[in-house]
Structure 1
Amino acid sequence: MAATAAEQQQFYLLLGNLLSPDNVVRKQAEETYENIPGQSKITFLLQAIRNTTAAEEARQMAAVLLRRLLSSAFDEVYPTLPSDVQTAIKSELLMIIQMETQSSMRKKICDIAAELARNLIDEDGNNQWPEGLKCMLIWFIPQVIAALLQTMEDQGNQRVQAHAAAALINFTEDCPKSLLIPYLDNLVKHLHSIMVLKLQELIQKGTKLVLEQVVTSIASVADTAEEKFVPYYDLFMPSLKHIVENAVQKELRLLRGKTIECISLIGLAVGKEKFMQDASDVMQLLLKTQTDFNDMEDDDPQISYMISAWARMCKILGKEFQQYLPVVMGPLMKTASIKPEVALLDTQDMENMSDDDGWEFVNLGDQQSFGIKTAGLEEKSTACQMLVCYAKELKEGFVEYTEQVVKLMVPLLKFYFHDDILQLLNTKHCARVRGPEYLTQMWHFMCDALIKAIGTEPDSDVLSEIMHSFAKCIEVMGDGCLNNEHFEELGGILKAKLEEHFKNQELRQVKRQDEDYDEQVEESLQDEDDNDVYILTKVSDILHSIFSSYKEKVLPWFEQLLPLIVNLICPHRPWPDRQWGLCIFDDIIEHCSPSSFKYAEYFLRPMLQYVCDNIPEVRQAAAYGLGVMAQYGGDNYRPFCTEALPLLVRVIQSADSKTKENVNATENCISAVGKIMKFKPDCVNVEEVLPHWLSWLPLHEDKEEAVQTFSYLCDLIESNHPIVLGPNNTNLPKIFSIIAEGEMHEAIKHEDPCAKRLANVVRQVQTSGGLWTECIAQLSPEQQAAIQELLNSA
């Protein structure tokens, strides 16, 4: 990237001429500059910026030109540079920033780096220059922290101090832990001295604004630092407990709430072992506040802080928290039961009320608006989330509260104005302790409401959550959980969802022909399409749970949806339709075979065709279907297994089959080949295919298919298959390599029976000394360590 001294000297003259007041000289210089090739231009500009002995005006001009070049001509210049030159440019920029001492020049160089970084973020938002961002953060962190702390210590203006503390909160919340730790000691000591000073001010003068923000700053630092905050724990906890115990006046409610939050966040950060020295005292303080809960006003800011703090204490104490549930649950249920104030108003009344704090309105047309008072809704939502948290953490310890929680939360499915947590399954797991009758009773209470909500919920985000929860519930409850009325109502709703899906696609195509169509409209249409596809995935989830629970018994009911599902996999449909349509037929093959063959005329040809589709997601769905066809399909599927094999092999052997975007589809193809050999061996020449299949192993991206594949490999090894083991066991080193790679990529969990089978294969070889030595010798150190890890764990 270096230019000769003479060339660089000529360039300095050119920079001087670009700054000339003489129009003729300047115009000639501009023409000369424009004719310099892109790579040379960047080289000259960087050397000019780096040369601190050059005239300041020339350096400033070079910085402006380089930023302009990266801004206006990045796509024409930068991608054409060799990769080593691109790397050199990035490294040199970072080096220049570090060395620059002149502040205005440093700012200009940082602007260049920022412009380069902006251009190196791709369309998916991936940062292709992470080290640049990291370096920038590392250099500015000390200055940011120092400036904020200095401002916080400025006693001249309390409001400015409070703003500085708020800025520090935002900074530490988003700062990566690894970057904050080197400055933690200095930061914490300053925060402690400021807290002590502001606590004295509170006692002497009653001023509390800055102390509120400082307490939250401490909480934010602890939350980011986690276990690294342990050495500073004893510095803060006594003062924080003092605030909670003594700040009981009405005007100090917010300070007390924030301090409760801070204590619980510190406890979560440092862990149970350290926090237990104060846990009893803290619990008593919280319990005292809790007993006064009924006396609190509805808008008391302590309420939301208390609710969240209890949940954190539950996470810290685990099962030991169960003893406090009788005290905690009453106020929590009360908050979760808040009923919103609503009103139907004409436009005039709405305008009169719009200034009233806490009201939001939805225009219903015809001069009418629906209003809802949002005060208290945030607390209601938080309380619902905390109920879910208790159920997850305490499991069977929460069982006596499951019924009242379910009865509270099910009506919230009809509540459109807040995205309340819908993880009802957590309470159902607790309900298992009460036995199957109790579980069935709870499910019947929920089921009708869930189905009705699927049919009526207008918000796509909330709808998708409800559909997901409903599918999971069916998986837990299993065969018999839906009666005839449920099936009838659900069938009509799913049919309507699919018909709406197709109608929306048609409407979007019409909008694309409109004269007002532009990029902005297309962006909006894409968002609509994404929402529609997401709901389609949830339709697939529900059908999956029904097929897996009811098997072929449900097929007569499904036939009302069959024409719509067939429409999804037509060649002219968008690829997500084809993908999810195939997934639904995959479930039918897997869970309803051999009865599924009566629908083969609708899906078999598309499935065979789509295994070679251009879209990886479509290929993957088709390949999975062919695999379960071999595994679960009856004799009628045999000819199609034979037909599928060369198509699968073609995909696996394509040049780009293992790229990031293709690997999952390819692994499903490899798994499908294994399933054909295992379950339909008379359909293919196993001896011919098996060596190729071994060469494609291991799988490690698709964990479910990896388990299937390793299980088949174990079958072959345990049966001493001659092709797999090779003459005189010559293939064993290759098999060891496959097992080691699978372990390194965590393809199989150690608790899975397949892991134990693989470990036993290794142990058997271990007993024959010479063969073991030969196998291990051909592995890399990492692979050897992986084999040892498997033996230790499985």
Structure 2
Amino acid sequence: MDNQQLFEVLGQLLSQLLSPDANIRKQSEEQLEKHWLANQPGPFLAGLSNFIVHHSDAYVRLLLMKSSEVFALSCCEAAGEDVLKYVQTNLLQSLASEQDVSVRNKVADTISQIALFLVNNKELFQACAEYISSPNPLFRKSAFMIFSGCPKVLIKQDQNSVKSIFMAGVQDSDLDVRLAALKATVNYICVSKQAVRNAMADLLPHLLNVIPGVMAHGGKEDEAVEGLTDIIELAQLFPKMFKPVLEHTVTYMVSQMKNTDLENGTRQTCLELLLTLCEGAPAQMRKYEPFAHSLIPVILEWMSELEDEPEWYAVETIEDDDDSSNETAGEQAMDRLAMNLKGNIVLPIAFQLIPTLLSSPEWQKRHAALRCISAIGEGCYDIMKKELEKVIGLILPHLKDPHPRVRHAACNAIGQMCTDFAPTIQEQFHQPILTHLIPIMDDLAHIRVANYGAAALVNFSENASKECIAPYIEPIISKLLVLMNTGKIFAQEQAITTLATVADSASLEFTKYYSNIMQVLLQILRFPDQKELRSLKGKTLECSSLIILAVGKEVFAPDFVPFVEVLKNIQSTISDPDDPQNSYLLSAWARLCKVMGTDFAPYLEIVLPPLLKSVEIKPKMVAFDADEAGDEYNEEDGWEVMAVGDKNLAIKTSLLEDKCTAVEMLLCYAEELGAIFHPYVEGIMKMIVPLLKFYLNDGVRYASASLIPVLLNCWIKADYQLRDAPDYDPEDEEALKDEEYTDEQFLADAAVTVSSLFKTFGTAFLPFFDQMISKLSEFLENKDAPSRQWALCVFCDLIEFTGPASVQYQPFFLAKMAASLGDASPDVRQAAAYGVGVSAKFGGPNYAQFCVESLPHLFNIINAPNSRSEENTMATENAISAVGKLLEVYRSTGAFSANDVILHWFNSLPIVEDAEEAPETYSLLLELIEGQNEVIVNVNQIPKLVSILSEALSLKDLLVKDPALKEKMVNCLKSVIAAADANTKQILWQGLKDGQKKYLSSLGLV
């Protein structure tokens, strides 16, 4: 089939991607993946670009690019540079004639994505330079869009020329061009080195001036927000760049925050820029006095923007505050300001305004003042703790405020302070706080207020001693029981949660209330299995088990059997993995075990099966395009969505939390039951060890790391076979007790996480990687060897999984990788040597000079004294492997004397420890032998060759992953020995170790 026919077939298939019939679309996607992407990536990309260029319908062109984008980008690397250049030329041709703005934007975006895979791209820069000088603003915008998507196109250009291009762009007469130039400038600065950033710093005023120009155009607020978002990205990475323009930035952003003609989202984006600067460079913002003085009054005004909606009072379920409202944005802003500016700055300004607001006849002002107090407490802790009595005195009267919303805010304020200033506030002020807070639970006419009073009691009780809480238990319980009978599920749940917390703090002081309370809770636990009651029953499980823990085994004993029956019944009804009762049930069983001790052992057979099922939960992950809404993956349903490159990744975090809880419960059982738990240890250990690398949830890894030594201890306590093992050392037991999850392990985990992202997403992960590159390169200079090692490992993964696209990052790591070949740490040398190898294999031509220049340093590692000592072996073998990779890639290029390098490499063999590097190394050796390389294939080298092959083959685990290679090596060894004369055989036999001789004997070769 010729190219024309291929393109016709592909055209039909691409047309089917746009079919309204889902089955046809699915079939075409499958055909693309199986037949084109896997086998013909080059023709696919070439045909796709032709289709895009020549199809007459703009709407079809746009849809086609969107629907095929994932397929196209996934095969760019495999297509090769020539095909990509052809596709780029086609798309640039399309830009030259395309009139549809949406299609133009998509084409420009696609060109920039393809450019990431091209090493040398002068043609693209030249095309963009022509576009920038075009009188047509559409062309100028397209050029800046390409620069924005692939700033590396500009990296090798003259710095002053690039600066002039950006300056002209942000001052362009066309609004869309200015915005595109703004984004391109920001993206370029973000990936540039310090010296370039310094040179570009005086562009910043002009970047900021783009925004007022956009604001002046009616109906362009979305574009203004987009431009501000770009500037925010710059502020996140380099906040100190803004120091020369702070006055202008603060003045203008505050003025826009006050502009009520703007949408709330626009005003909040202006606030976000100021908060980003505050978080990134707090000292800088503290020193600029007008910042807080101008900003805080506006934020408090925002916090007063509330309506007294009837819906607030009539709700059946409590939802989180509306994050899009100015009131919520203002409260969050006060929290962030306090955390960064601290009390010396924030408190004098805030408390100059708060008393006036609290005395205002407008309830919204009083509400704002109270919410402000609750927001700033944590950040202003050092100053506010000295004024607790005064602050509490301002809050408590408003628990009796005439307006229910203000009473609600007062509950929030006192509750938050009980968390922020614990335990001091409980110890010193329990009497005034509780005497004001407990009566508010009588406000059943405003059930949300009573409910929030109970919630504030949780904050108080969590950090209260039993001496503080004991005198108030009776009135608290009586009011909570009334709240439980209101018929409102959210109020019942809160009352039960508060009861659990009070019981936990009161401990044995709760005993006299136990019997009556437990009967009420058991009654709730016996409710039928209805979906709307599951959360209530789950919280009741938590409450009852905490009460049991508080009162102890003796008091609880009469209820043990009925309580177990209730738990068994609930367990039998749970079939939905999202059932909230599940995690509460797991915890309840574990608390029961803590109370009953060894008497709980008979129930393990009931408890462990569902628990282990939870441990084995597989994470639910869904990837979707960044421009898709993804509304079904919301936080309320237990999903967390994160951006990874141009994709969004949704993870069902609620399931991960259940998994973490399950591991923690196993830890509880193992600790409590000790030797009794030992029959389950082996099976559980097989499940837990792999979770040390469960990178989606830190809690799972930490709990697993804590559980493993406890499981081993169960074996030991049971006098299991460990103590009788021939290599058992008494110090081993002490070592288990002292085992910790070290900082070095955490750093290693972080590196492996990034590695996993590169493996999964390849070049699509690079935009996210850009945000960590500066910090990562700092680790290369760290005095701590593990930090240098793991930073190098990340850069190795960058090269391995993004190939030539990694070239743009060379300034951040390449010189340090070369220097690390001589590092004092063997682990660092190993990582650097591995880096040279992957550079040769995956990096492309732009790594050739670095690789060739590394050869002497690799041989320095190989030939160093003690290079084969235990601590140096892995570094040595990685250096040997790296030399082999250089031979594979460059030996025919004339970059070095190939036979000289082959000789030195051959004499450095064998590799005997590194099972990852051995297969490729020995494959090269066989290739040279089969090719009759004169350095290796001669009579003088037979003893060395037999020694290398026999030693490698005698190690049973070294080549276990590649049995085909092992068989080839055996055949080669047999051929070499068969061809040797008697004298040569005698010489080689004398030079072999016992293990090698034994292996050759097993093959019948001697």
Q: TM-score, normalised by structure 2?
A: 0.44
Distance in 1 separating the partners of 2:117 and 2:158 = 14
Between the aligned partners of 1:773 and 1:560, the Cα distance in structure 2 is 63
Task: Check whether the contact 1:191–1:218 (CA below 8 A) recurs between aligned residues.
Answer: no
Do structure 1's residue 740 and structure 2's residue 689 form an aligned pair?
Answer: yes
Counterparts of 1:538-577 in structure 2, within 5 Å, are 544-548=458-462, 569-570=484-485, 573=488
Matched residue of 2:277: which SS?
A: helix
Provide the residue aligned with 2:301 in structure 1.
411
Q: Determine the structure 2 residue equivalent to 1:614.
A: 530
1:354-393 matches, within 5 Å, as 372-374=260-262, 380-393=267-280
For the pair 1:197 / 2:130, whether they are aligned, the reply is: yes
Report the number of matched residues: 566
Q: Distance in 2 between matches of 1:257 and 1:674?
A: 58
Identity of aligned residues (%): 11
- Contact 1:406–1:446, Cα closer than 8 Å, also in 2: no
Following the alignment from structure 2 to structure 1, what is the Cα–Cα distance between the partners of residues 404 and 510?
20
1:661 paired residue number: 578
Cα distance change on mapping 1:619 and 1:750 into 2, 3 Å: closer
State whether residues 396 and 431 of structure 1, in contact with CA within 8 Å, keep that contact through their aligned partners in structure 2: yes
Cα pair 1:627 1:672 within 8 Å, conserved: yes
* Equivalent pair of 2:167/2:203 in contact (CA under 8 Å): yes
Contact 2:170-2:207 at 8 Å conserved across structures: no
CA distance in 2, matches of 1:755, 1:488: 49
Gaps in structure 2 of 5+ consecutive residues: 1-7, 9-15, 37-43, 52-65, 76-85, 308-323, 410-445, 616-653, 729-740, 751-1006
Residue type of the alignment partner of 1:617: S
> Does the C-alpha gap of structure 1 residues 630 and 565 become closer, same or farther in structure 2, counting only changes over 3 Å?
closer
What amino acid maps onto 1:314 in structure 2?
A: A
Q: State the TM-score, normalizing by the size of structure 1.
A: 0.53
Q: How far 1:162 sits from its partner (Å)?
A: 4.2
Amino acid at match of 1:483: I
**What residue number does 1:265 align with?**
187
1:217-238 CA deviation, whole Å, 9 max, x = no partner? 643x35xxxxxx6466546987
Pairing partner for 1:681 from 582, 590, 596: 596
Q: Verify: 1:153 aligned to 2:96, yes or no.
A: yes
Q: Contact 1:148–1:165 (CA<8 Å) still a contact in 2?
A: no
In the alignment, does 2:136 pair up with 1:212?
A: no
Aligned residue in 2 for 1:124: none
Alignment check: 8 A CA contact 2:256 2:270 kept: no
Measure how far apart 1:660 and its partner are: 2.1
**Distance of 1:150 and 1:466 partners within structure 2:** 61
Query: Residue 392 of structure 2 corresponds to which residue in structure 1?
Result: 483
In the other structure, the counterpart of 1:325 is 243
Partner letter of residue 733 of structure 1? E
Q: CA deviation at 1:751?
A: 11
2:235 maps to a residue whose letter is C
Superposition pairs of residues 222-371 of structure 1, within 5 angstroms:
222=150, 230=152, 233-234=155-156, 241-246=163-168, 251=173, 255-268=177-190, 271=191, 274-286=192-204, 299=216, 308-317=229-238, 321-322=239-240, 324-325=242-243, 327-328=245-246, 330-338=248-256, 340=258
User: Contact between 1:212 and 1:258, CA under 8 Å: does it hold in 2?
Assistant: yes
Q: Is 2:681–2:711's contact at 8 Å kept on the other side of the alignment?
A: no
Q: Separation in 1 of the partners of 2:118 and 2:359?
A: 56
Give distance in 1, aligned partners of 2:500 and 2:520: 12
Give the superposition deviation at 1:645: 3.5
Query: Partners of 1:592 and 1:546 in 2: how far apart?
Result: 12
Residues 165 and 217, structure 1, Cα contact 8 Å, conserved in 2: no
Residues in 2 aligned to 1:452 and 1:725: alpha-carbon distance in whole angstroms: 66
Give the superposition deviation at 1:791: 13
Judged with a 3 Å threshold, the aligned counterparts in structure 2 of structure 1 residues 723 and 538 are, in CA distance, closer, same or farther, namely: same
Q: State the secondary structure of the residue aligned to 1:373.
A: coil
Counterparts of 2:565 and 2:262 in 1: how far apart (Å)? 58
Q: Secondary structure at the match of 2:97?
A: coil
- Cα separation, partners in 2 of 1:706 and 1:297, compared to 1, 3 Å: closer
Instruction: Check if 1:722 corresponds to 2:639.
Output: no
Matching residue's letter, 1:242: S
**Could you say if the C-alpha distance between residues 551 and 252 of structure 1 is closer, same or farther in structure 2, counting changes exceeding 3 Å?**
farther
3-state SS in 2 of match to 1:642: helix
Aligned-pair CA distance for 1:385: 0.5
SS in 2 for 1:251: coil
- How big is the shift at 1:139? 7.7
- Aligned-residue offset at 1:646: 1.4
Q: Is the partner of 1:483 in helix, strand or coil?
A: helix
Q: CA deviation at 1:650?
A: 1.5
Query: C-alpha separation between the residues in 1 aligned to 2:73 and 2:688?
Result: 46
Cα shift at 1:384: 0.7
C-alpha distance in 1, partners of 2:562/2:353?
Answer: 44
Q: Tell me the C-alpha RMSD between the 2 structures.
A: 6.4
1:672 corresponds to: 588
1:29 maps to none
CA contact 1:468–1:542 (8 Å) conserved in 2:
no
CA distance in structure 2 between the aligned counterparts of 1:403 and 1:618, rounded to whole angstroms: 44
Name the aligned partner's letter for residue 335 of structure 2: L
Residues in 2 aligned to 1:244 and 1:231: alpha-carbon distance in whole angstroms: 14
2:236–2:280 CA contact under 8 A, matched in 1:
yes
Query: Following the alignment from structure 1 to structure 2, what is the Cα–Cα distance between the partners of residues 412 and 760?
Result: 53
| Cα shift readout 1:597-640 (whole Å, capped 9, x = no counterpart) | 89879975554344454334333322222333234467997368
Point out where structure 1 has 5 or more consecutive residues left out of the alignment.
Answer: 1-51, 53-59, 71-87, 107-132, 223-228, 342-371, 501-531, 775-785
